[in-house]
Amino acid sequence: MSVFATLRTAGAESTGMYALNGKFYVNVQHPTSGNSLLVEISPVPEAETYAMMLAGLGLVGFAASRRKSVK
Q: Tens digit of pLDDT for each residue in 40-54?
A: 887 777 888 889 999
In this model, does residue 30 exceed pLDDT 90?
Answer: no
> pTM higher than 0.75, yes or no?
no
Listed in order, strand segments (DSSP E) in 1-71 are 2-3, 13-20, 23-29, 36-41
Q: What is the pLDDT of residue 45?
A: 75
CA 1, CA 47: separation in Å to the nearest integer?
30
Residue 27, judged by CB atoms within 10 A of its CB (0-12, 13-18, 19+), counts as middle
pLDDT recorded at residue 54:
94
Q: Would you say residue 21 has pLDDT above 90?
A: no
